[in-house]
Amino acid sequence: MSSPTRNPVTRPRTLTRERILEVALELFNEQGYEKTSLREIADRLGVTKAALYYHFQRKEDILLELHLRLHDLGRDLLDQLDALDEQELVAAWPSLIDQFIEKVLANRELFLVHQRNEQAFHQLADNERHQAENDDIEQRFRRFLANPAIPLADRVRMACSIGAVFSALMGAGGMFGDAPVEEVAALVRDAIGDLFPSHR
């Protein structure tokens, strides 16, 4: 399992397919996955409902593709995490959080749709598990947090870091008045730095 030749499942990226995903992402964020009908997606795209079925077999597959793109973002972070041993981990954490913050900021809508439709994404995993048994990044992260070789206090603070990033950076624009995102991001980095005082 997990042979080195496993390719990243070449997913076709035709133009209209991308436009469907783009519009779906918008609508799922505005109204939620369940409340968004294929008709609405088709309407905003200027095509009919049936046309969507040429590009995606089921409605669920649209959400699945968005899920896979989130996985692509999280995968190498978790690979880095798994490559470190327990002693290096705390020292490397700020750097990993930096990368994470960059990815969140560069893909806000994608992270947002996951947060706002947690249930829909979660039920996806059941069907997706046929393709990628232990590739679910949430599961991998939970397994990481359950590792007794890492001091519990550190694991708790790592979990806190993730939540802090989401909480402070993923609210819709202007959560802190008119403060620019970069400034907020820098303050979040500082705060998480204080959670891991490397020189004590």
Partner touching 176 among DNA, its own copies, none, CB below 5 to 8 Å by kind:
its own copies
CA 10 to centroid of chain Cα atoms: 19
Partner touching 153 among DNA, its own copies, none, CB below 5 to 8 Å by kind:
its own copies
Which is nearer to its own copies, 55 or 169 (by Cβ)?
Answer: 169
Which is nearer to its own copies, 50 or 153 (by Cβ)?
Answer: 153
152 binds its own copies (CB under 8 A): yes
Which is nearer to DNA, 43 or 154 (by Cβ)?
Answer: 43
37 binds its own copies (CB under 8 A): no
Report the nearest approach of its own copies to the CB of residue 134 (Å). Answer: 18
Residues engaged in binding DNA (CB under 7 A): 14, 16, 36-39, 42, 46-51, 53-55, 57-60
Selected from 85, 146, 198, 199, the binder of its own copies by CB under 8 A is: 146
| Residues in Cβ contact with 188 at an 8 Å cutoff, skipping those fewer than 6 apart | 101, 164, 165, 168, 169
Partner touching 174 among its own copies, DNA, none, CB below 5 to 8 Å by kind:
its own copies
Selected from 37, 99, 107, 119, the binder of its own copies by CB under 8 A is: 119
